Amino acid sequence: MGLFDRYEGLLEAYRDVRTTGYDPFQIRMERVLSPTEAIINGRKTLLVGTNNYFGLTFDPSCMEAAIEAIRAEGTGTTGSRIANGSYTEHVALEQEIAEFYGKKHCMVFTTGYQANLGLISTLAGEGDQLLIDADSHASIYDACKMTQAEVVRFKHNDPSSLEARLRRLGDRPGNRVVVLEGIYSMLGDSAPLREFIDVCKKYGAYVIVDEAHSLGALGDNGRGLCESAGVLDDCHFIVGTFSKTLGAIGGYCVSNDPDFDILRVTVRSYMFTASLPPSIVASVRQALKVVKAKPELRTQLWSNVATLYEGLAAKGFKLGPEHGPVVGVHLPDRMIAIGFWRAMLDAGIYVNVAVPPATPNGVSLLRCSVCAVHTKEQLEHMVEVMTGIARQFGVLEDRTLRVVG
């Protein structure tokens, strides 16, 4: 048997994808010019698929902080914090994130993926029940493969489905640990968090919320859905990433649990991998300052969300259910999605294409992510380009004709 025989279905799908002439999963950014533009295939391209929600990758103060840190402390830590020790700045970053959330403790990880993987599989152990939303991110699903806990899935964004699962568990021994996301990464919808928290309280379940896509975007201070839903004190753990709004790489979790520090010697994805390099720690610390000092970035982001979401909705595109920085555009099938994606790239616009098995319910999507520093003109142009392509592909009703007819 060949090593990849078990992936036959996937190989076939991947071959289909490549028939378009480009491989959407191996795109090369020949040069990144700014948070919103890069050279791809020799052409200046508008970036609307990079999760760079505040555009901080090119923020001069974050860049300077990173450069200074390299000069002062070198390029890398060359080991994990339990082996090589923590730098003063790792500890400072943790204190600043904890303060940002008004929580007592914070632990930073080398990626958000590792934060979810390690934290979730450690908090829910043998004899416990881990309850996850069906549309959870891959890092949460992968944590389920690592945990010794029983894994139970509930319907996406459906508190009554979670309640039914918790009720069925009855008075079985073990902790119940529920994992939710602030904004879901494919369709951009957010959890009805208040309702979920009520259910969790009723059944004594612990709650972890992943704010990867909502940090900066939601809440009066940008603390995410937990803040905007008014449940910061009810979430036992909040997880997030530095790779989106904060424009760098890394992950974190915060909590008020008095025994929090035991995580530093139990979470394997923290213990057995190299810690964040000084440059990243410095740029993230600065990015957090920018998030606090410039609420206008959030206002600008939401104004851009309105331009893109409402612009596409007005043209008749089928979109994810909510306004938000992630805008998922539904297309009828995988091949149309790939062809559409390629036509957009040829027209100088980069978005993500998301197709089964990576999507919820087998949907095929173009996944757009809006940036605070996109201009209105850039997004209006994108709506026009997408509308033209959609007509070519026959996936959009002609609203003008419909009105006339």
Interacting residues with ligand PMP (CB under 6 A): 111-113, 116, 137, 139, 181, 185, 210, 212-213, 241, 243, 251
Min CB(120)–ligand PMP separation in Å: 11
Nearer to ligand PMP, 55 or 250 (CB): 250
Minimal distance, residue 3 CB to ligand PMP, in Å: 27
The answer to whether 254 touches 98, Cβ cutoff 8 Å, is: yes
DSSP code at position 319: B
Torsion of CA 121, 123, 129, 130, to 10 degrees: -60
Nearer to ligand PMP, 239 or 396 (CB): 239
The pair phi, psi for residue 176, each rounded to 5°, is -100, 130
- Give min distance, CB of 126 to ligand PMP, in A: 25
- Residue 203: CB minimum distance to ligand PMP, A: 24
- Residue closer to ligand PMP, measured from CB, 185 or 245: 185
Quick one: which of 350, 357, 216 has its CA closest to 294? 216
CB of 155 closer than 8 Å to CB of 136 = no
Taking the complex as a whole, how short is the minimal distance between the CB of residue 73 and ligand PMP, in angstroms?
Answer: 22
Question: Whole-angstrom Cα distance, residue 230 to residue 65?
Answer: 33
What gap in Å lies between CA 106 and CA 74, rounded to an integer? 24
Nearer to ligand PMP, 121 or 387 (CB): 121
CB neighbourhood size of 65 (10 A): 20
Choose between 223 and 311: whose C-beta lies nearer to ligand PMP: 223
CB-closest chain residue to ligand PMP: 112
How is residue 313 written in tokens?
């909705």
Residue among 53 and 339 whose Cβ is closer to ligand PMP: 53
Composition of the chain by helix, strand, coil, percent to 5: 45, 15, 35
Residue 129 and residue 150 in contact, taking contact as beta carbons nearer than 8 Å:
yes
Nearest CB to ligand PMP, comparing residues 129 and 241? 241
Q: What values do phi and psi take at 285, rounded to 5?
A: -60, -40
CB of 4 to ligand PMP, least distance (A): 25
Residue 189 CB, shortest distance to ligand PMP, in Å, is 12
